[in-house]
Structure 1
């Protein structure tokens, strides 16, 4: 057969199915643009359309030996492959976006947690420094009432001072610590 003579899609498919790369190249040249524009219309992005076009022709090359061409044109079969490849691409992109979004959210949460831990640790250090500067009796009142949860009366009995002294001293300690916390937040 003369190479300049036009061959039908059936002849090219039969030759390509038998392993003829030149026949497959002829089919590729004939249909690459319509397949690309279909993919581009379905996906909206040139890079994705190029990927799907390549996947379409790769799939076609693998499946040509089992193809029974029912029409005069290979295009309807390529369109079907292209649509499936496009749908797969859309699903893959959505899955990748979901995984990326989840990873970003995890990173942001971890960053937020670390920042919160640093702030809390800095604040705790500042409070401990303030408590260390208090008189021993005030530290004991704070420990008994604020940390251990004793009542004013119980703390007063344990420390041998009046209920009113415990209440007044604890009030001053809490005011001092609130001032420390506010200055730390500012």
Structure 2
């Protein structure tokens, strides 16, 4: 997302880095859902994903003063923090597993699940990279429809464009994403 209301992510980041809780809340509202789903795909449970979401935004809050936003969207940076938080959580669970073998066994995914999660994480990273290269309107359409689950008309109303614009652009975005991410050896 490049804009929240009328302020860009860069403006919101600068305000939040200066201590504005309102600006940070705007960033949280904009990105909590995609960060949650990324975490859920990596850690596998809703409870762990909710914890990782909170840990991700807490780490982001602490790191905002030194952040220079590279693109228009804060999402790739948050996704990187989220992946680190997920890795930390999985490592902690593995340590706990060594100490509490029977109880922790049920909480951890098996090796096949971990491999699938790594593959999915790499795919999400490539998708986020490609989405970051889209124009501002296309990024907003992708965020609303693909990441937040908006219907075409709801996204159109939110963005002030027609239903057809959302439908056609999202179709083009999906085709473009498929074409750019499939060759990388999935």
* 8 A contact 2:97–2:103 mirrored in 1: no
- Cα distance, 1:59 vs. partner? 0.2
1:103–1:80 Cα change, 3 Å: closer
Segments of 5+ residues of structure 2 without an aligned counterpart are: 105-186
1:42-78 Cα distance to aligned partner (Å, 9 max, x none): 0110000001000000000000000010100000000
* 8 A contact 2:39–2:53 mirrored in 1: yes
1:5–1:30 Cα change, 3 Å: closer
Query: Within 5 A, what are the aligned runs for 1:56-67?
Result: 56-67=56-67
1:19–1:101 Cα change, 3 Å: same
Segments of 5+ residues of structure 1 without an aligned counterpart are: 105-186
* Number of equivalences: 101
Report what 2:42 is aligned to: 42
Query: Within 5 A, what are the aligned runs for 1:139-150?
Result: none
> d(CA) in 2 for partners of 1:5 and 1:29?
11
> d(CA) in 2 for partners of 1:50 and 1:77?
18
1:17–1:97 Cα change, 3 Å: same
Runs of 4+ in structure 1 off by over 3 angstroms are none
Q: Work out which structure has the larger RCO, using CA pairs closer than 8 Å and 6 or more positions apart in sequence.
A: 2
> d(CA) in 2 for partners of 1:92 and 1:41?
18
1:93–1:25 Cα change, 3 Å: same
| TM-score where L is the length of structure 1 | 0.52
Q: Tell me how large the CA RMSD over aligned residues is.
A: 1.9
Q: Aligned with 1:19: secondary structure? A: coil
Report what 1:21 is aligned to: 21
> d(CA) in 2 for partners of 1:31 and 1:52?
13
| TM-score where L is the length of structure 2 | 0.52
Query: Within 5 A, what are the aligned runs for 1:79-98?
Result: 79-98=79-98
Report what 2:160 is aligned to: none
Pairing 1:8–2:21 present:
no
